[in-house]
Amino acid sequence: MATLAPSVQQTGTGLPRWLALAHWNVSRALIVTRREVLDMFRDWRIVAPTIVLTVIFPYIANWGAGRMLSFVERFGASLIGDRLIPFLLMVVGFFPISFSLIIALETFVGEKERRSLEPLLATPLTNTQLYIGKTLSSTIPPLMGSLLGVTVYLVGVYRNLEWVPSATLLLQIILLNLIQALVMVAAAVVVSSQTTSVRAANLLASFIIIPMAFLIQAEALIMFWANYTVLWLIIVGLVVVMILLVRMGIRIFNREELIGGEIDELNLLGALRQWLALTLARHGEGPRRSAWQWYRQEVLAVVGRMWSAMGVLSLAMVVAYFIGLRYADVYRIPTELFRTEDWFARFQLTMEQAGLTNLRGVLWVLSQNTRVLAVASLLAVFSFGVLAIMLLMVPLGLVGYLNAHILIAGMDPMLAWAALFPHGMIEIPAALLAGAAAVRLGATVISPPPGKTVGEAWMEALADATRLWFAAVLPLLLVAAVAEIYVTPWLVGLVAGGR
């Protein structure tokens, strides 16, 4: 009879339960990993390119580095050669890693196509064990190839050029390759577990390859710039992304969708109908609701569901404000530009010349704010909400920056509040609501509520965001725009004594 998770007493190890369970999960996952790695090395289509990339290519890179070095030295440009060698070290380590993407893309959906997935799903393996097992199997061989390639290259470079990397640089390269492999594998496993054909998985791989290609180019620039400290920041950022992707993969892993056949079907009309139905939130059964009841249940209730996103965004905005205050000391605007009499008169003139003192101004401010929040929402979808937070931090950072300069210039501190408060007290909540809805849209992909698929949860989040926009955000932005054009300048003039 099959055995399941042992209790701590049964393990006899005396380990804490969480550690015993982690050990048991990993040991079960490694059963899958072992099989897949052995199977990989039986496939000549994987073995042959691996040998080429891990042995032949580093040798060629080493030979090329030597020739390039002697060539540029003839022209006194030895710096290029000096920077090329570490750069090629990074390239040699990365190329075998690129294979991890192909292996990982195929890991779930390929088995499904070969009909070998269902017997595996019918075993007592848990979702986590299966997921970890396949992730490790996609990572270990390419990583081994990467280390082998780096070793071949370093041996050659040492023998020919007597070049030895610093321990820090070597550690950075190894860590970078490891984390990049894990990021690509984690993303590819998500794609593979959510598609129903290898073809679809390969097409979706563009969403992984293109960002990685940009990242590698950025790393190449850094290598030639020789500011290797920046690599640590990249490593930390990639670790965060990797954790998010692995968490996302485990959370949305769904046996049912894996063996289903309908995921790849695109039904735009159906999606549109569903979005409309969810947005209008009509309930066929039950008593008819008044407009206020509908508003309270379907709009204000959404705000309640977004409390964590609003909390995160509020914190980010506060942090941005203080960052703005801090950087006012670093990047100073000349104080003479803040002379109140001239400043206010110039400001009024500029506004009049731009035609922003009337309804046109209201519409312009409204469109500008709407556009920013819409862009933030769009960016949130592709960045798990991170870019939306960053984008919405910028204006608060600027406010902090300018407020600091008002204080530095010795002006009335009330001026800062007068310039912000009338429209800000409406605009900031509107931005908070729209931003939180955007963050929720992005974060839903990582962590859909239990019992719901990613698609279902995302559609609900989109419908909530739509309702919120039309019923709260846009009205608030309109009122804020009116205040910004008609009330704020009046109040600033009152405080500044210009009127």
Partner 1 sequence: MIETFELTKHFDNFVAVQDVSLSVRTGEVLALLGPNGAGKTTTVRMLTSILAPTAGTARVAGFDVVRQPEEVRAHVGVLTEGHGLYLRMRGREYLDFFGELYGLDRAARQQHGTQLAGRFGLADALDRRLGEYSKGMRQKLALVRAMLHDPPVLMLDEPTSAMDPHSARQVRNAIRDLRGDGRTILLCTHNLPEAEELADRIAIIRQGKIIALGTPADLKTRLLGPPLLELRLAGAVNGVAHDLSDLVEIESQGPTWLRYRTPAPEAINPQVIYRLAALGVEVVTLSEVPQSLEDVYLRVVGEEERV
The binding site for partner 1 (CB under 8 A) comprises: 1-5, 28, 31-32, 35, 39, 42-43, 114-126, 255-256, 259-260, 262
Residues 350-365 as b or e (16 or more Cβ within 10 Å = b) = eeeeeebeeeebbebb
Question: Min. distance of Cβ 185 from partner 1 in angstroms?
Answer: 21
SS3 of residue 293 by DSSP:
helix
Considering beta carbons, is residue 8 or 372 the nearer one to partner 1? Answer: 8
Question: Min. distance of Cβ 476 from partner 1 in angstroms?
Answer: 37
The C-alpha atoms of residue 363 and residue 446 are separated, in whole angstroms, by 36
Question: Min. distance of Cβ 43 from partner 1 in angstroms?
Answer: 7
Question: Min. distance of Cβ 458 from partner 1 in angstroms?
Answer: 16
Considering beta carbons, is residue 311 or 449 the nearer one to partner 1? Answer: 449
Considering beta carbons, is residue 41 or 71 the nearer one to partner 1? Answer: 41
Considering beta carbons, is residue 127 or 466 the nearer one to partner 1? Answer: 127
Residues 471, 302 contacting (CB under 8 angstroms) = no
Going by C-alpha positions, the residue among 24, 19, 31 that lies closest to residue 6 is 24
Considering beta carbons, is residue 123 or 168 the nearer one to partner 1? Answer: 123
> Within a 10 A sphere around the Cβ of 252, how many other Cβ atoms?
20
Question: Min. distance of Cβ 453 from partner 1 in angstroms?
Answer: 11
324: Cα separation from own chain's centroid: 24
Question: Min. distance of Cβ 31 from partner 1 in angstroms?
Answer: 5
The phi, psi pair for 376, rounded to 5°, reads -60, -40
Distance from the first to the final alpha carbon of the chain: 89
Question: Min. distance of Cβ 314 from partner 1 in angstroms?
Answer: 37
- Encoded tokens for 294: 């509908």
Residues 248, 446 contacting (CB under 8 angstroms) = yes
Considering beta carbons, is residue 1 or 291 the nearer one to partner 1? Answer: 1
The C-alpha atoms of residue 338 and residue 334 are separated, in whole angstroms, by 8
Going by C-alpha positions, the residue among 268, 251, 208, 242 that lies closest to residue 457 is 251
Considering beta carbons, is residue 262 or 336 the nearer one to partner 1? Answer: 262
Amino acid at 287: P
